[in-house]
A and B are shown apart, each in its own frame.
Chain A
Amino acid sequence: MLVIGVSGLRRNLSMALGVIVTVTICLTLLGAGLLLRAQARTVDRFFLDQIQVVIDLNDGVSSAERAALAADLRADPLVRAVVYEDKARAFARFTRDFRNSPDVVSGVSAADLPASFRLTLVDPRRSGEIVLEYTGRGGVDRVRDQRALVAPLYRFLRAFAVGTFALAAVQAFAAVVLIYAMIRLSAHGRRRETAIMRLVGATNATIRAPFVMESAVTGMLGGMFAVVILIVCKVYFVDHKFARQAMFPLFGWGAVWAVAVAVLLIGTVTSAILAAVALRRYLRV
């Protein structure tokens, strides 16, 4: 069957090449969008482990208020762990975090930094509830959700993924039109053959199979080229270009293989289905 599909492609080589290039671009964009989503998930997992909610305390907080707040936090089902950080420890952290900016550190003393409760949440995605609950309590200056700090990164990743999906959709439309045209040409080129098949009593499935195979092979080739491009991009960008950034981890080969399987399956199966639909129109059986 694969041989039938390949021999069909050779008959309309220029048309088939056009379809393969379009399908390749479409599936590469689709794969890139999927990988960006995988990247967003990777970043999410990383930050969810690290992100904390910080409750900064007023300088004038009483020890009774602090004790009451600590007791409430420990009893809160949303909170997994509570660590109290006094001004001295806050300053130690500050000097560590900004060790590359001595000018910043030199202008700040321990007295300038608030004492705080640093909370690790059971589910960091529910940080908003904690912020609402403890903002305005006695002794509380403000409640900071560190998750909000990385929100722009998520927005960037999501927007990029949506953009690639939109471009993939435009290419998909072009691919559909081209596959329709390819099937039409192919059906016309083989009309004598199909007429004889009908005449001698071949079933619809047998008559349509070569066309469906031809389209499936086109989709599969497009998928294979798309996978090659994605692998090259992973090696060039992820493993070399951005390998040294340490802000967050990048997606691994597992995500690439998962996307490769998806892209190949989508390319092959969708092209075959499209051919079957197109044949209903162009090939009377």
Chain B
Amino acid sequence: MIRMTSVTKRYPAGARPALDDVTVEIAEGEFVFLVGPSGSGKSTLLRLLLREERPTAGVVEVAGLDVNRIPERRVPLLRRRVACVFQDFRLLPDRTVAGNVAFALEVTGRPSPVVRAVVPAIVSLVGLAGKEGRYPDELSGGEQQRVAVARAFAGRPRILLADEPTGNLDPVTSSGIMKLLDAINQIGTTVVVATHNATLVDAMRHRVIELEHGALVRDQLRGAYGLAL
């Protein structure tokens, strides 16, 4: 599902590479935590998977596409297969919960009857049934992140990436978001979560990939946040 082979990414201004000769493979349906200190290369790795960046060297394959070699016009196809949620939610403030979820379907050309059928089901799946008409500023942080997850999942991507999805949330709410991502993984979606949240990583015992200074230093099945556990 995801295969990175000897991937290096250097930014023009950086003295050392953001990612340094990383080789990793993630199978379909896996749930993977990407851990490491700030600046270790987690976000860069996710951006490479989304073709927000191109690797300086190496091959990135995602959902059957060679990310570095697909032409510009096919990048939207990649982004329909690989969705992403962020720490800052990135919701449209002038659209309701249902409107935010529908937006993702409308701009990717789904017909109106499909949008009308899918949106309530997805909103219900993320636990926001009854709040379809609320605006983002009427929701808690956890609820806003649920909307972001609903929007990302609405197009039924094969892979869901999450960049610090609980970074702005309290522990209880964070746990709820992780359970939601776990439920989406159970449906068959590959989930990759970049996080600093040691408690959740330790509690869920999924595969852990650790980066440090851009290099892959640990790849452990049913791992914990730190080596000590």
- A193 pairs with B92, CB closer than 8 A: yes
Instruction: Assess whether A126 is interfacial by the CB under 8 Å rule.
Output: no
> Which residues in window 12-52 of A have CB below 8 A to B?
none
Instruction: Assess whether B222 is interfacial by the CB under 8 Å rule.
Output: no
Residues of B within 8 A of A198 (CB): 79
Instruction: Assess whether A195 is interfacial by the CB under 8 Å rule.
Output: yes
Interface string of A111-151 (1 = CB under 8 A from B): 00000000000000000000000000000000000000000
The bracket for how many chain A residues form the interface is: 10 to 19
- B108 pairs with A195, CB closer than 8 A: no
A194 CA / B81 CA spacing, docked (Å)? 19
Instruction: Assess whether A109 is interfacial by the CB under 8 Å rule.
Output: no
- A203 pairs with B76, CB closer than 8 A: yes
The bracket for how many chain B residues form the interface is: 20 to 34
Instruction: Assess whether B181 is interfacial by the CB under 8 Å rule.
Output: no
Residues of B within 8 A of A196 (CB): 90, 92, 103-104, 151
Instruction: Assess whether A1 is interfacial by the CB under 8 Å rule.
Output: no
Chain A: CB-nearest residue to B155? A200
Residues of B within 8 A of A207 (CB): 107
> Which residues in window 96-120 of B have CB below 8 A to A?
103-104, 107-109
Instruction: Assess whether B62 is interfacial by the CB under 8 Å rule.
Output: no
Report the minimal beta-carbon distance from B45 to chain A, rounded to whole angstroms.
17
Residues of B within 8 A of A75 (CB): none
- A200 pairs with B108, CB closer than 8 A: yes
Instruction: Assess whether B18 is interfacial by the CB under 8 Å rule.
Output: no
A89 CA / B74 CA spacing, docked (Å)? 84
Interface centre among A201, A204, A206, by most chain B C-beta atoms within 10 angstroms, is: A201
- Secondary structure class of chain B's binding surface, majority of residues: helix
- B92 pairs with A192, CB closer than 8 A: yes
- A201 pairs with B90, CB closer than 8 A: no
- A206 pairs with B109, CB closer than 8 A: yes
Report the minimal beta-carbon distance from B97 to chain A, rounded to whole angstroms.
15
A202 CA / B73 CA spacing, docked (Å)? 10
Residues of A within 8 A of B49 (CB): none
* Contact of B108 (CB < 8 Å), options: A193, A202, A204: A202
Instruction: Assess whether A197 is interfacial by the CB under 8 Å rule.
Output: yes
Instruction: Assess whether B77 is interfacial by the CB under 8 Å rule.
Output: yes
Instruction: Assess whether A64 is interfacial by the CB under 8 Å rule.
Output: no
User: A201 and B103 in contact (CB under 8 A), knowing A192-B90, A192-B92, A206-B109?
Assistant: no
A193 CA / B92 CA spacing, docked (Å)? 7
A285 CA / B76 CA spacing, docked (Å)? 9
Instruction: Assess whether B78 is interfacial by the CB under 8 Å rule.
Output: yes
A198 CA / B47 CA spacing, docked (Å)? 13
User: A201 and B84 in contact (CB under 8 A), knowing A193-B92, A206-B107, A206-B109?
Assistant: no
Report the minimal beta-carbon distance from A10 to chain B, rounded to whole angstroms.
13
User: A202 and B92 in contact (CB under 8 A), knowing A196-B104, A197-B107?
Assistant: no
Given contacts A196-B92, A199-B79, 16 further A-B contacts (CB under 8 A): A192-B90, A193-B92, A196-B104, A197-B107, A199-B50, A200-B103, A200-B104, A200-B108, A201-B76, A202-B107, A202-B108, A203-B73, A203-B76, A204-B73, A206-B108, A207-B107
6 A-B pairs, CB-CB below 8 angstroms? A200-B103, A200-B108, A200-B155, A201-B76, A202-B108, A204-B72
